[in-house]
A = this chain, B = another copy of it.
Amino acid sequence: ESANVVIYGKLYPEIVYVRANGATEAGGRVSTLSSAAKAEEIDSHSEVNASNSRLGFRGTEDLGNGYKAEFQIEQVVPVDTGGGELATRDSFVGLSGGFGRVRLGNIDTVYKSLGDTLSFLGVSSGNFVSNSSILSKSALGSGKTGSFHLRAPNSVLYESPEFGGLQLHAQYATDEAKTDERNPYLQSYGIEYRNGPLYLALAHEIHTDYFGGSRNARSSVSNVTAAPGANSRDTGTRATVRYKFGSSRVEVDYAVLKYKESDGVANGFKEYEQRAYAISAEHSIGNWTIAASYARASPEDCSLVGGRACSTSGLDGAQLNLGAGYSLSKRTSLFALVSRLNNGRSARYSNLAIGKPDAGADITQAALGISHSF
């Protein structure tokens, strides 16, 4: 029976130097939506991290007539500290054929999969060099409810066949937590186009009743419990262009995130919007690969219930990543990474593996690691 199963994985532990300083002074003025600043810094120290190091089991079965069944059980393996449960990464059963491909399980959203595809030296998943910290998270806080960089449990995902390079994707995921008042669920849609060196993608994701605004904003504006009748609808929209020429690859992403809530409490959260872009490039020379990326997010607008003034001042953030990798083989490489994430005085963008930055804290990280695939 083992003939049906492939064991695979990738481990990429690294030694990391971390520091977060320059936090906004305690009680300093921050945007209307931000929690109060406490001037908390993170002393320079070392960590050993393992990002999304993983182990998986997968297989496919030919059903005849062009039909195919497939399964995958993949898990994060924290080789640095131990721990971790089963099926914590993309895990599913799928069926494909002339109609396309349907999968049922715990699966990365279409939105996450189609954009920010240039994985920085192959190690950006779960690593501090991921652009997602700026491109797909809220300036108000890095909590999951406000994130558009998600793996969605309880997913049904459909992918169309390819039509002349075009492919459509659609996903529905329930939170299984429907009440009389609220029904949290996720929809994620995308279209991609591939033509030789060119890759284009457009993705749109809708979070119903996730309250990504209220849950990350300062508690005094939160509608989550204060307004039992409130509902939310948060959306992310992103365009991606990637191009390969020679041994270089370049990608540009542009994203708009909107957090909207209805029937909120007086002076409560109503709407917040931010825009972000990321530019990534990778170039290979012999066994070496060098990579750089820059991501920047800016607040667009915010409003409160009843029209009270809402300031987005200081809710901007930017991140610069530089790295170099040296291939020891097709499966094994050494890598060095440096990153600087700057938070505006009200912002809490975070690429920390441990802990959270206070408002305005700027994060510096550097790492040396080894990546091994099997």
A residues whose Cβ falls under 8 Å from a Cβ of B = 1-2, 4-9, 11-15, 43, 45-48, 50, 55, 57, 59, 61, 63-64, 67, 69, 71, 73, 75-89, 91-93, 95, 104-106, 151, 153-156, 173-174, 176, 178-180, 183, 328-329, 331-332, 354, 369-370, 372, 374
How far, in whole Å, are A85 and B55 apart by their CA atoms in the complex?
Answer: 13
A6→B13 contact, CB < 8 A: no
A87→B91 contact, CB < 8 A: no
How far, in whole Å, are A40 and B186 apart by their CA atoms in the complex?
Answer: 27
A154 nearest CB across to chain B (Å) = 4
A91→B79 contact, CB < 8 A: yes
Given contacts A85-B86, A370-B104, contact A69 B156 (CB under 8 A): no
A93→B79 contact, CB < 8 A: yes
- Could you say which of B5, B77, B154 contacts A374, with CB atoms under 8 Å apart? B5
Question: Which of chain B's residues has its CB closest to A176's CB?
Answer: B47
- Could you say which of B48, B73, B75 contacts A155, with CB atoms under 8 Å apart? B48
- For A176, list chain B residues within 8 Å (CB): 45-48, 354
A105→B87 contact, CB < 8 A: no
Question: Which of chain B's residues has its CB closest to A81's CB?
Answer: B153
Given contacts A45-B176, A370-B93, A372-B69, contact A104 B332 (CB under 8 A): no
- Could you say which of B8, B11, B105 contacts A1, with CB atoms under 8 Å apart? B8
A6→B15 contact, CB < 8 A: no
- For A81, list chain B residues within 8 Å (CB): 87, 106, 153-154
A78→B67 contact, CB < 8 A: no
How far, in whole Å, are A307 and B5 apart by their CA atoms in the complex?
Answer: 61
Q: Chain copies in the assembly?
A: 3
A83→B86 contact, CB < 8 A: yes
A-B complex: 8 closest residue pairs judged by Cβ atoms: A48-B154, A45-B178, A81-B153, A4-B374, A84-B86, A13-B104, A69-B332, A82-B87
A79→B87 contact, CB < 8 A: yes
A335 nearest CB across to chain B (Å) = 12
- For A55, list chain B residues within 8 Å (CB): 57, 73, 86
- Could you say which of B86, B89, B156 contacts A77, with CB atoms under 8 Å apart? B86
B93→A328 contact, CB < 8 A: no
10 contacting pairs across A/B (C-beta < 8 A):
A5-B9, A5-B374, A13-B93, A13-B105, A15-B104, A63-B328, A77-B87, A79-B105, A80-B106, A93-B372
- For A9, list chain B residues within 8 Å (CB): 5, 57, 71, 73
Given contacts A87-B84, A332-B69, contact A183 B57 (CB under 8 A): no
How far, in whole Å, are A328 and B9 apart by their CA atoms in the complex?
Answer: 29
A11→B78 contact, CB < 8 A: no
How far, in whole Å, are A47 and B175 apart by their CA atoms in the complex?
Answer: 8
**Given known contacts A1-B6, A69-B370, A80-B154, what 18 new A-B pairs fall within 8 Å (CB)?**
A2-B2, A2-B6, A2-B8, A5-B8, A43-B180, A45-B174, A45-B176, A47-B176, A48-B176, A61-B331, A63-B328, A63-B329, A63-B332, A69-B372, A75-B82, A77-B87, A82-B151, A104-B370
